[in-house]
């Protein structure tokens, strides 16, 4: 630095300026600090060139669907399934017979299908029950006739007696 230059100390930011630059700095600093800082909206920036209009804002509070969760029951079911899988793996490794599978956990929130006795949530249950109802009716109607059974038996006997040339 040259010896002839004089410095001024800025009390607001603890920085040093040349005397001729301090007045200019103070005016700029005062105008910048008095302005409210505008937040940058990246979504608006992304949409600007695409031709998409405005996007609905999601300022509405999110409503939690459903009531209380049964996380403890789910956790215990998970732990029992892990333990049963571990015992099955150990039995396979040691050559022992497999242990019986754990009992299935029944979720009280699910609806049981009267046709196949499987369980589904509230939205999927009506669709599945209609599907299962039509399929069980279709299976009952599509039983093989006596002629078909005789043909199948004859085919099995023919295949048994067949010898390759």
pLDDT digits (tens, 9 = 90+) for 39-56: 888 888 888 777 666 656
Q: Name the residue ranges covered by the structural domains of the chain.
A: 103-164
- Token look-up 């015992």 returns 87
Element (H, E) at 62: none
**Helix H or strand E encompassing 137:** helix 124-141
Stated pTM of the model: 0.34
Per-residue pLDDT tens over the stretch 70-99:
888 889 989 999 999 999 999 999 999 999
Spell out the residues 6+ positions from residue 99 whose beta carbon is closer than 8 angstroms to its own. 84, 87, 88, 91
Distance in angstroms (rounded) separating the CA atoms of residues 108 and 34:
61
Distance from C-alpha of 8 to C-alpha of 26, rounded to nearest angstrom: 12
Q: What's the burial of 142, exposed, middle or buried (CB within 10 Å: 0-12/13-18/19+)?
A: exposed
The token duo for 30 is 């005062």
Phi (first) and psi of residue 16, to 5 degrees: -105, 140
Determine the pLDDT at residue 1. Answer: 41
Q: Which tens digits make up the pLDDT trace of 142-153?
A: 566 777 777 777
pLDDT at 2: 44
In angstroms, the Cα distances linking 46 to 28, 85, 130 are 31, 49, 46
């Amino acid at each position: 630095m040259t010896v002839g230059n004089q410095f001024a100390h800025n009390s607001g930011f603890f920085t040093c300026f040349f005397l001729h630059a301090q007045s200019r700095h103070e005016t700029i600093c005062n105008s910048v600090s008095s302005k409210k800082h505008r937040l940058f909206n990246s979504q608006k920036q992304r949409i600007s060139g695409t031709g998409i209009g405005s996007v609905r804002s999601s300022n509405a509070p999110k409503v939690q669907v459903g009531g209380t969760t049964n996380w403890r029951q789910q956790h215990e079911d998970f732990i029992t399934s892990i333990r049963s899988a571990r015992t099955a793996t150990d039995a396979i490794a040691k050559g022992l017979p497999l242990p019986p599978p754990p009992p299935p956990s029944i979720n009280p929130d699910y609806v049981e299908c009267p046709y196949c006795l499987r369980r589904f949530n509230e939205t999927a249950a009506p669709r599945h029950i209609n599907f299962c109802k039509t399929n069980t009716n279709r299976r009952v109607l599509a039983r093989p006739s006596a002629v078909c059974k005789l043909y199948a038996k004859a085919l099995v006997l023919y295949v048994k007696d067949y010898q390759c040339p």
